[in-house]
Amino acid sequence: MARTIIGRVAEKEILANALNSSRSELIAIYGRRRIGKTFLIREFYEKEIVFSMTGYSVGNRAVQIKNFMTKLNEVTNEFKDNKPKDWIDSFVLLKKFINGLRKNKGKKVIFIDEFPWIASDKSGFLPAFENFWNDFCAARTDLVIVVCGSAASYMMKKLIKNHKGLSKRITQKINLKPFNLAEVKEFFEYKKNPIIEYELLKIYMSLGGIPEYLEQVQKGESAISTIDRLCFQSGAYLEDEFDVVFESLFDSSTFHKKIIDVLAAGKKKGLTRADLLDKCGVDSSGRFSQSLVELEISGFVLKYTSYKGKSKETLYRIYDEYCLFYLQFMKPFKENSWQQLYQRQEYKTWYGYAFETICLKHSLEIKRALKIEGIASENYAWSNPKAQVDMVIDREDNWINLCEMKFYNDEFTIDAGYFKKLETKKESLKQTKQEEKAFI
């Protein structure tokens, strides 16, 4: 019996539609490690998968083909004596297996996990797979081929933006993202591990919405104890996760790490592209641009609009909770205890910034709570020498919502002094707007 799939509403709809379409489908799913890609496909397509394999992280062509044949021989006895010499021969056998399956009205799912590990340079796997799809699968109507990988750079360049044999052949793509706060709450409720919202938020600000990280949270344990155990104690579960994540996602992660390091040390609101280039000590290049785009696609960096007075600029800031937490605390304070660190001033600075980032990530939920999600708007940050606003929701119906982000474990009281500050911000922003709009 399939396990419950928490959240993933849009993704499940894509997978369901693939089963009901009138053609064969080629679905590419990618996202960082431990995000739940394999779990989603195996659980959702539990009854439809007729063949699946997972690539070896380290293995030449011979090893990968042997693995392929091992998995094929688990579902059929027809090819016990076959020893294909290359991937062309291997896919011939897969075609024979599919042709030999009993015909029915439902789709048959082929799942190839960790695709980039199999399709190494000179392995011959990618062109053989291209031919398998173009010559065999696309001519049928009863197949769903799912290819999956954590290496975001490979999945984008070689599959989704492929300009050769697979050009525009991917029928659906899924960039699997971390859970949002509502999904994290649902996750802990499903695990029968009720956590009050303030504690849940502290865990989220440190670990993010990565399902496998959340699996490590123990029932009855406080957020402080959880973070200390997972991040700071000797041999901690997430001790080396930062390096492992970057090495698994990107072909060469040197530029990616450099960009993240610079963003972590820079202004909390973010840096412009020019600032990034300057502080990274590099000229604008294809490699830098590609690394920055890949960090955006993978959810590590947010590119967003900000205004300084009337001047518009594009800023980049760290968008991944664990990465920011690692660079702010785990790396510089490796031998310390979180029980002591969280009382420092650095903690207060970090949690304000981390909470603001989470609010930006949940801007749709904020709009929904304000009952304005159906109104088109431009969201941006704004500042001038006298004031700054964390998020401006500039609406097409001629209203503007000003949003202040406060991480506070109690009811926040707006006294006369704070109200005056808010009025100053509103008046300062009004003076920069060229059109007449009402402010909330």
pLDDT tens per residue, range 75-102: 999 999 999 999 999 999 999 999 999 8
Distances (CA, A) of 52 to 97, 174, 292, 299: 13, 18, 33, 28
Closest by CA to 197, choosing from 184, 209, 206, 208, is: 184
Q: Partners of 377 in the beta sheet?
A: 395
Where does CATH 3.40.50.300 sit in the chain? 9-175
Alpha-carbon span 112 to 245, nearest angstrom: 21
- With beta carbons less than 8 A apart as the criterion, state whether 24 and 17 touch: no
CATH architecture classification, 179-361? Orthogonal Bundle (1.10)
Alpha-carbon span 6 to 190, nearest angstrom: 8
Alpha-carbon span 323 to 315, nearest angstrom: 18
DSSP state of 162: -
Say what the pLDDT of residue 349 is. Answer: 85
- SS3 category, 308: strand
The position carrying tokens 């001629």 is 398
Q: Interhelix angle for 286-297 vs 273-280, to 10°?
A: 120
Alpha helices in 100-164 (DSSP H): 115-118, 125-131, 152-154
Alpha-carbon span 405 to 426, nearest angstrom: 15
Where does CATH 1.10.10.10 sit in the chain? 179-361
Alpha-carbon span 51 to 69, nearest angstrom: 11
Is the four-CA dihedral 16, 299, 39, 127 of positive or negative sign?
Answer: positive
Q: Interhelix angle for 197-207 vs 345-361, to 10°?
A: 90
Strand-strand pairing, 388-395 and 377-383: antiparallel
Is the four-CA dihedral 352, 356, 361, 366 of positive or negative sign?
Answer: positive
* Amino acid present at 381: A
| CATH code given to domain 9-175 | 3.40.50.300
DSSP state of 394: E
Tokens encoding 208: 């993010």
Q: Which residues of the chain have pLDDT under 70?
A: 1-2, 434
Strand-strand pairing, 25-30 and 172-175: parallel
* Amino acid present at 213: Y
In the chain, what percentage of residues exceed pLDDT 70? 99
With 0-12 / 13-18 / 19 or more C-beta atoms within 10 angstroms meaning exposed / middle / buried, residue 219 is exposed
Alpha-carbon span 65 to 50, nearest angstrom: 18
Say what the pLDDT of residue 413 is. Answer: 87
pTM reported for the whole predicted model? 0.89
